[in-house]
Structure 1
Amino acid sequence: MDFALIIRILPVFIDAAWTTVEISLISLLLGLAVASLITAARMSHFVWFRFLGAAYVSVFRGTPALIQIFLLYFGGPQVGIQLEPFAAGSIALGLNIGAYMAESMRGGILAVDRGQMEAARSLGFASGQAFRWIVLPQAAKLMIRPLGVNTVALVKGTALVATISVVDLTYTAQRFIGSTYKPFEIFAVTAVLYMVMVYGLTLLIDALDRRYAEET
């Protein structure tokens, strides 16, 4: 183990880790927005909305995220969509994770007993009010763990953007391997930094889960 090399490259890898964090945050926000819309569509009274929501989930869950990144970055210019690597990677990952988060959200809502809605309606709540004030708060507690799992998968999935030359952790590792010929040390540092990010995120998810459990 070349510890001198590790000490020398660590600052560069920490900078690259911040790029990974930025991509994760942007993709997460986009994914949550997309998931909210898809969930609303899938639970709509309109057949076409349900169909479009189901089709979106099927397409994005049924195809590899890497292909989606390539399609947006390399195929986008053919239809007038020209994006920088960072933007293309963030958007593609956000659209992808949105499909998974939509199912987590829908599952949380469906897990709330139907009697809650009926009881709220019997007390004079309109459907929208009953959903917002009665069903959604209970569903939100059930969504924390599944959405947390999706977020962890997203952070690890950001490694795919290295394939379109985004200078994240994985791309930086590949570049240093080519110049140092010491893959063990390089990938060890990369793995540890990913583990730090995932462990920190896991602690946050556990804290949120405990907090809502105590309020139940």
Structure 2
Amino acid sequence: MEYRRITSISDPLFKQMHQLMQKVFPPEEVLEFDLWKEPLEDPGIRVFVALHNGEVVGTTEYRYYEDFNVAMTDFTIIGQPGLSIGPFLAKKRTADLEELATQQGKKLYGTFAEIYDPYRVKQNEFGGVKPMDPFVRREVLSHMGFKRIDIDYVHPSWKNDGEAVTGLDLCFLPSDDSLDCLEADLVVKFLRRYYAVLSNKPKAWMEMIEKIQKQDCIALQPL
């Protein structure tokens, strides 16, 4: 299996990748094809696909914030079972992020991720691909060491229509697994940076940010 970076919407592999996203994710979670042009050309956004016999069978997007020394896993998509695509992508991503932090003379502080809570939202089937089942994905992140940031989380829809998306948790994988509290200021700065591309923020999101700002440290809870 190959780990190949995508940096342009004109790359034929990107068309395969976008079709895979549309097959697996709900519509509000998929950025339109043409809107991918700038993100793919951004050196800070890293989009890779897993290639098996020339076919895109998985993909992951993530980024490393040098000034925060944290990463964000935007998504990980497994297109079919039985190929160990998940472990392949996770290992390759981790090695890449650790190398990026090392280049800054640092050890990666941790990684953010959003994860659906299937105990609250039961209608997401994710294209019928069983490894993408929300219960499976949540358990996998738990095994990896991700912890739930103890806030009532909403995020702006990627349609940029001002709607708030619920039913997810914001999580964090600390490099130090004994960490049980995350600086509220870091969470606020990260979320503002991450969603800066969306101009139409929902009121619920802004109220959540204001609430976080009133705290010093936010507990990290088990998933």
- Asked if TM exceeds 0.5, the reply is no
- How high is the TM-score relative to the length of structure 1? 0.26
- Bigger proportion of residues as strand: 2
Per residue, is there more helix in 1 or in 2?
Answer: 1
TM-score, with structure 2 as normaliser: 0.26
Which of structures 1 and 2 has the larger relative contact order (alpha carbons within 8 angstroms, sep 6+)? 1
The structure having more radius of gyration, on CA atoms, is: 1
